[in-house]
Structure 1
Amino acid sequence: MKPAKLPNKDAYDLILEAIDVGTYRPGDRLVESELAEQFGVSRTPIREALQRLETQSLLTRDGRSLIVASLSHDQMAELYVVRSELEGLAARLAARHATEEEVRVLRAMVDEDRALLNDPHALARANRRFHKQVHLASHNRYLVQQLDLVHRTMALMATTSLAAEGRGQNALAEHNAIVSAIEAGDGDGAYAALKSHISVAFETRLRLDAVSYADKPL
């Protein structure tokens, strides 16, 4: 299945989005000529995009080939620690600085996303959109930049924790608690609610990984 050609996006964004949605998964080899054909762009911007992604450790070398990187257990744990603290800070700042319009948008996202509970992949995309909106509502450009880096690395996780049974419903309840705290101007509450949300997501992912390990031959 070829990714849709989106001429309004550059090669870097197209490849990153393809990794994010699972078109290319950890271990997949990325070939410059094939990517150029798939995305309808020349090989030069593809080459530059691949170099940039390698510099960011989203791609790694396997001989002369570039493959989508994968995260070890320790790397994933480290990533969640950083994500938890930064996201919690974003929520705390959003409680202080979010406009009424931004809060209404967050509230609408929670309400609208209930229609996606039977589609984990669509819910995962909506989840990223929700978190990005919280980041923006912090009104701190440097924090948003760091969170963008964290979320780019999250794309290296081959599955979404929202695929676990019942996780989608619980995640939306957690989103609702985050928005309520931001709406009330409760910085400590928003920080705690978002950190708890990330903690549950991490635990869910660990459980999913444990199941996948059990299915692999020794």
Structure 2
Amino acid sequence: MVDVRPLAMGEQIAHQLRREILTGAVEDGLHLAEDALAARFDVSRGPVRDALRQLEIEGLVENRRKRLYARPLDMEELDELYALRGALEGLAIRLAVERAEPQEWDAVQRVVDRMRTAAETGDGEAFATADMDFHGSFYALARNRRLLEAWKPYHRTFSVLVQMSDTRDLAAATEDHQEFLDVVRTGDVSAAVARLDQHLQSAKGRLRDVLGAA
């Protein structure tokens, strides 16, 4: 669910650079010099180094002879990301359906209710946050620490991608998540995983359109 802890400076810088790289505000191949970034964010080089190290792990920064360069996603990498997410989240759903108590799904319903409120007020950022909390709930309810740790690095990337790809029809997107949750709560694992695949393919398609237009 929502992590209310304030982000460390390195994480804040990573979040800003991640958004800029994924949206194309930072050009492909741009040299990301620690000194220049430290001056830009008015910090020492330590938080910048932490941020760049995290982005390198996520594949958004490339190390070439000890110099770091921005590396936006191409379409093939986008397909790889969604394939990996489908595998991880499919397992999370299977375990969550098996292990979660019926009342625990009520908390997930409250996340969908947050999405509905965000849709009614037109708050796209709040909607995107709730969207990630919705999917994150599967990992939490799966009660598998290693699975959760495997998802964490990609959660950061997808938190930006979700904002880029979410449809402007937030009401329809809310109902899509409601129907998704309804399927999960039936306990039919095969139907839930199939619904996940449909959900992710649709999101990936919208994102491909966004990236293609950019």
Which structure dedicates a bigger proportion of its chain to helix? 2
- 1:131 Cα offset (Å): 1.3
- Structure 2 vs 1, CA of residues 170 and 87 (structure 1 numbering), >3 Å: closer, same or farther? farther
DSSP 3-state at the match of 1:60:
strand
Alignment of 1:73-92 (within 5 A): 73-92=75-94
Per mean C-alpha deviation after superposition, the further-off stretch among 105-114 and 36-45 is 36-45
Per mean C-alpha deviation after superposition, the further-off stretch among 148-157 and 190-199 is 148-157
Whichever residue aligns with residue 177 of structure 1, its letter is E
- Structure 2 vs 1, CA of residues 125 and 39 (structure 1 numbering), >3 Å: closer, same or farther? farther
Whichever residue aligns with residue 171 of structure 1, its letter is A
Is 1:132 the counterpart of 2:139 in the alignment?
A: no
DSSP 3-state at the match of 1:160:
helix
**Distance across 1 between alignment mates of 2:145 and 2:198:** 24
Partner of residue 10 from structure 1, selected from 8, 25, 34 = 8
- 1:72 Cα offset (Å): 0.7
- 1:140 Cα offset (Å): 1.4
**Distance across 2 between alignment mates of 1:23 and 1:208:** 15
Is 1:192 the counterpart of 2:194 in the alignment?
A: yes
- 1:116 Cα offset (Å): 1.6
**Distance across 2 between alignment mates of 1:73 and 1:10:** 31
DSSP 3-state at the match of 2:72:
coil
**Distance across 1 between alignment mates of 2:20 and 2:69:** 13
Alignment of 1:39-118 (within 5 A): 42-60=44-62, 66-117=68-119, 118=122
Whichever residue aligns with residue 170 of structure 1, its letter is A
Whichever residue aligns with residue 10 of structure 1, its letter is A
Query: Counterpart in 2 of 1:216?
Result: none
**Distance across 1 between alignment mates of 2:162 and 2:191:** 31
Query: Any gaps of 5 or more consecutive residues in structure 2?
Result: none
Whichever residue aligns with residue 151 of structure 1, its letter is H
* TM-score normalized with structure 1 length: 0.75
- 1:50 Cα offset (Å): 1.9
**Distance across 1 between alignment mates of 2:99 and 2:42:** 42
DSSP 3-state at the match of 1:71:
coil
Whichever residue aligns with residue 44 of structure 1, its letter is G
Query: Any gaps of 5 or more consecutive residues in structure 1?
Result: 1-5, 214-218
CA RMSD after TM alignment? 3.2
Q: Kindly indicate whether the alpha-carbon contact (under 8 Å) linking 2:35 and 2:45 is maintained by their aligned counterparts in 1.
A: yes
* TM-score normalized with structure 2 length: 0.76
Query: Counterpart in 2 of 1:123?
Result: 127
- Structure 2 vs 1, CA of residues 58 and 99 (structure 1 numbering), >3 Å: closer, same or farther? farther
- 1:156 Cα offset (Å): 6.7
Instruction: Tell me the percent identity.
Output: 28
- Structure 2 vs 1, CA of residues 110 and 55 (structure 1 numbering), >3 Å: closer, same or farther? closer
- Structure 2 vs 1, CA of residues 96 and 178 (structure 1 numbering), >3 Å: closer, same or farther? farther
Partner of residue 150 from structure 2, selected from 146, 150, 156 = 146
The total of aligned residue pairs comes to: 204
- 1:203 Cα offset (Å): 1.7
- Structure 2 vs 1, CA of residues 52 and 147 (structure 1 numbering), >3 Å: closer, same or farther? closer
